[in-house]
Every structure is written in C-alpha cells, then in structure tokens.
C-alpha cells in the first residue's frame, strides 16, 4: 500500500481512505504557489466520497481553482457492502456539483473512453479553470482485501461484469485494429507476470526489517538521511 516514487511523480498509495484527497489538493496548492505548470491526478474509491476529507478538499480545490483531476472509481462496493447502503447519493459525479466542479461519468470498463475523459479533464485543468471530476463506472471482481471475501454480491452479477473485463476488451480491440496481435499481447502479459513474480520473490527472501526502522521515512528529515 505504501508505494511511492518521487522519480515518477507518484506520491503514494495511502492507508486512510479519503485522506489522500486532502494531500493531493495540498500538492496542487503547492504547485500553484510555486507557479508550476503541473497538475495532480488523484484516484479514490466510491467509499472515500463519504469521508469528511473528500468534501473539505473539493470545496477548497474549487474555491481556489486548484490544478487537480479528481478521479473516482465507482466499483459499486466499499469494504463489506454496496454503495447504496452507505451513500445517500449513489452517482458519484453528482457529489462534485455541490462544489460547482465540472464532472463526467464514463464507462470505466472501456480503456479508451477513460483515456479520453482524462484528456478532457487535463485540458480543462491546464486552461486554469480549476478542478475536474471523473466518475469511472467499474467493478471490483473480488473483495476489497483478504479481510473482505466479497460475499455481498452474487456470482451472476460477477459473471455479468466479467463479460466487460476492460483488459480483455482492450485485447480484442487492439487485435481488431491490428495495433497489437495476440502474440504481442501475450508478451506484455508475460513481462508483467515476471515483474510481479520477481517482486514477490524479492519481498519473501528479504530479511524482516529491524524494529528501529519502524518510523523511518515517517518524516522528511529522516528520509534525507535514509
């Protein structure tokens, strides 16, 4: 969860649901403050939109016209239950209206459609008009984590969404247009599987960290020494 790569401008996966929206807006404020022509892409789930952070952050981002694209993956479930059981508003894009942030809903199972929506959002933000909200309608084929076996939906529902698997759809589309044949696609899959296997091997064969490492990287000053 705590991956981070400053080199790739990837500012991390965060443990506190919705907390990173405030961080993203803070980073966007920093960019504006330093007159940098960059923007932030902040990705969060439907569950995060019920958190106080979400509302405070959208308010501030809109008020100060900060350069941030807010990307909500609405996969219909949080951890342990369906959206309609926890959210008074189930269409996530409508939540952006409260802060006058332009929003669009896109088929999150269609890679090209998501790409197009992101490009529109980037264009909007780059033109100095403030934040933009995207709701990608998608599905999570499993429970949230090992602690969530995902028993709250039916096998039939899962099967229906499987038919729209975005990776499979992309493979078919690339094959149809001749951009990437099955062999080339298989090679991409093999490379990805190899990278994951290597990372798992590295993690499992590495020694457990010493207790003194517990708070390392918690503060920037420590990271400088690390």
Ligand X SMILES: Cc1ncc(C[n+]2csc(CCOP(=O)(O)OP(=O)(O)O)c2C)c(N)n1
DSSP state for residue 153 in the 8-state scheme = S
Asked whether position 45 contacts Mg ion by CB under 5 A, the answer is yes
Query: For residues 136 and 110, what is the distance between their CA atoms, to the nearest angstrom?
Result: 9
Which CB sits closer to ligand X, 108 or 130?
A: 108
- Other Cβ atoms less than 10 A from the Cβ of 68: the count is 31
In which region does residue 134 sit, left (phi positive, over 0), alpha (psi from -120 to 50) or beta (all else)?
beta
Alpha-carbon distances, residue 104 vs 89, 125, 166, 167, 175 (angstroms): 15, 14, 19, 22, 29
Given Mg ion, ligand X, none, residue 144, with its beta carbon under 5 to 8 Å by kind, binds: ligand X
Q: How far is the CB of 184 from ligand X (least distance, A)?
A: 30
Asked whether position 75 contacts Mg ion by CB under 5 A, the answer is yes
Each residue 43-62 as x (binds ligand X by CB under 6 A) or -, in order, gives: --xxxx--------------
Given ligand X, Mg ion, none, residue 17, with its beta carbon under 5 to 8 Å by kind, binds: ligand X
Given ligand X, Mg ion, none, residue 15, with its beta carbon under 5 to 8 Å by kind, binds: ligand X
Structure tokens belonging to residue 28: 């966007």
Which residues sit at the interface with Mg ion, rule CB under 5 A?
45-46, 75
Q: Which residues bind ligand X (CB under 6 A)?
A: 15-17, 45-48, 73, 75, 77-79, 140, 144
């Amino acid at each position: 969860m705590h991956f981070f790569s400053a080199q790739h401008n990837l500012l991390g996966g965060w443990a506190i649901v919705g907390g990173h929206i405030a961080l993203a807006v803070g980073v966007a404020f920093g960019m504006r403050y330093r007159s940098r022509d960059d923007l932030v892409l902040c990705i969060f789930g439907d569950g995060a939109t019920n958190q106080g952070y979400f509302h405070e952050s959208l308010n501030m981002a809109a008020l100060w016209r900060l350069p941030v694209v807010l990307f909500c993956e609405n996969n219909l479930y949080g951890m342990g239950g369906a959206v309609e059981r926890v959210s008074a508003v189930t269409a996530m894009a409508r939540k952006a209206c409260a802060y006058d942030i332009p929003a669009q809903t896109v088929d999150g199972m269609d890679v090209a459609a998501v790409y197009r929506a992101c490009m529109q959002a980037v264009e909007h933000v780059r033109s100095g008009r403030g934040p933009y909200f995207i709701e990608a309608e998608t599905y999570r084929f499993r429970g949230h984590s090992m602690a969530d076996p995902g028993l709250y939906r039916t096998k039939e529902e899962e099967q229906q969404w499987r038919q729209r698997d975005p990776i499979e759809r992309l493979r078919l589309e690339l094959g149809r247009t001749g951009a990437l044949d099955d062999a080339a696609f298989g090679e991409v899959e093999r490379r990805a599987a190899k990278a994951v296997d290597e990372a798992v091997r590295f993690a499992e064969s590495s020694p457990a960290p010493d207790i003194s490492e517990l708070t390392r990287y918690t503060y920037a000053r420590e990271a400088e020494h690390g």
